[in-house]
């Protein structure tokens, strides 16, 4: 185990002079790029960086946006300049996404991308007095015209939120999300998850839903859900195999590891093979004041043995796991409060900085 540290003092591995590190993408070809973000000190001063993982070629773009998301053909983001959805490409070009668009009367847009990097779902939210109405669209790998797959509402204070695709992309997992709470939580959390059959539009609550407003994830036919214990000293982890909208096995509960005051948890990330999961767990004191302090640990969950354990000693910032790597023996993570990308080894607990910029994902072939 490592001792409590500042992320800025982590050991740097293979940091390129411009910020990104080479080789975060696995199975790279000449057309493969790593996408990074350097946050600007002023509005409109973010830097999107595309670096070819084999040739070292690098392209930088100055942007003013949020919700940067790596796709197969570029980085999708919401432009703060004109409130449009833009796509930045490795060749250095930026333009409006041809299909993912927010209409003038929409209140917000949310999106999720499937693991193939092509299939997209997005939801437009409209306000009608105190009620919210949503429209959800799907764009498949064929790149054809988007298809409206769900109209929901009006709902008081709730909006449909796309969360993840099933492995076969036949179901879209969504949440009945309490609108406005995203401003007050550090991690992804959900209130009432359900499955949408993309072909026929049928909606089915996932097992045990609606549940608490807690972290959760669906990947590799595994449904993982967190639940804060009654004594507020940790999170139980509910694990259940799932196939589409149907439970495919017995629900198992991984008992919480008692940690005093660690009451903020989320950003559950399941390994691609469905055998492990990790989530971020934080102790936040004096929230919202100049005296606010943060301590965060990663919790490692074994989805086969149904155990969990702390993977790190406390880190003094919020952290987000973003990708499993090295055959699921290590995890890349970033922080919303500072630039950089770090890697933690599951066996040793060793924490290493691998890039000065924030890793967004692999783009290209």
The 10s digit of each residue's pLDDT in 244-298 is: 887 788 899 999 998 888 888 999 999 999 999 999 999 888 777 788 888 999 9
Residue 79's pLDDT is what? 94
Residue 245's pLDDT is what? 81
Pairing of strands 11-12, 351-355: parallel
What is the pTM for the complete model shown? Answer: 0.88
Residue 252's pLDDT is what? 95
Regions of the chain with pLDDT less than 50:
1-19, 22, 27-30
Residue 43's pLDDT is what? 65
> Among 64, 66, 151, 169, which residue's Cα sits nearest to residue 113?
169
Distance CA 266, CA 277 (A): 11
Going from N- to C-terminal start, the domains of the chain cover 7-114+220-364
Distance CA 347, CA 283 (A): 24
CB 315 within 8 A of CB 335: no
**Per-residue exposure over 138-166, b if at least 16 CB sit within 10 Å of its own CB, e if not:** bbbeeeeebeebbebbeeeebbbbbbbbb
């Amino acid at each position: 185990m490592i001792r409590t540290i500042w992320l800025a003092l982590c050991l740097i591995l293979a940091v390129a002079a411009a910020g990104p590190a080479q080789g975060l993408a696995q199975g790279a070809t000449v057309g493969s790029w790593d996408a990074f973000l350097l946050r600007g000190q002023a509005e409109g001063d973010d830097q999107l960086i595309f670096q070819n993982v084999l040739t070292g070629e690098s392209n930088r773009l100055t942007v003013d946006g949020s919700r940067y998301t790596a796709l197969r053909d570029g980085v999708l983001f919401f432009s703060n300049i004109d409130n449009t959805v833009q796509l930045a490409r490795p060749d250095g070009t930026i333009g409006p996404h041809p299909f993912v668009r927010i209409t003038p009367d929409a209140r917000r847009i949310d999106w999720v991308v499937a693991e193939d990097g092509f299939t997209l779902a997005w939801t437009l939210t409209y306000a009608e007095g105190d009620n919210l109405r949503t429209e959800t669209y799907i764009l498949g790998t064929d790149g054809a015209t988007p298809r409206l797959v769900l109209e929901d509402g009006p709902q008081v204070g709730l909006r449909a939120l796309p969360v993840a695709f099933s492995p076969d992309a036949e179901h879209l997992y969504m949440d009945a999300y309490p609108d406005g709470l995203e401003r007050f939580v550090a991690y992804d959390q959900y209130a009432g998850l359900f499955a949408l059959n993309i072909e026929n539009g049928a909606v089915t609550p996932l097992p045990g839903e609606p549940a608490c407003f807690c972290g959760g994830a669906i990947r590799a036919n595994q449904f993982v859900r967190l639940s804060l214990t009654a004594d507020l000293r940790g999170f139980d982890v509910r694990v259940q195999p799932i196939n589409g909208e149907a439970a495919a096995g017995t629900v198992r509960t991984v008992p919480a590891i008692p940690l005093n005051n660690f009451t903020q948890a989320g950003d559950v990330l399941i390994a691609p093979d469905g055998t492990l999961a990790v989530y971020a767990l934080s102790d936040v004191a004096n929230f919202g004041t100049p005296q606010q302090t943060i301590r965060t640990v990663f919790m490692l969950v074994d989805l086969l043995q149904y155990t969990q354990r702390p993977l790190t000693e406390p880190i003094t910032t919020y952290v987000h796991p973003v990708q499993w790597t090295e055959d699921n023996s290590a995890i890349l993570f970033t922080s919303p409060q500072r630039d950089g990308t770090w890697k933690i080894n599951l066996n040793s607990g060793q924490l290493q900085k691998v890039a000065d910029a924030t890793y967004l994902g692999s783009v290209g072939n």
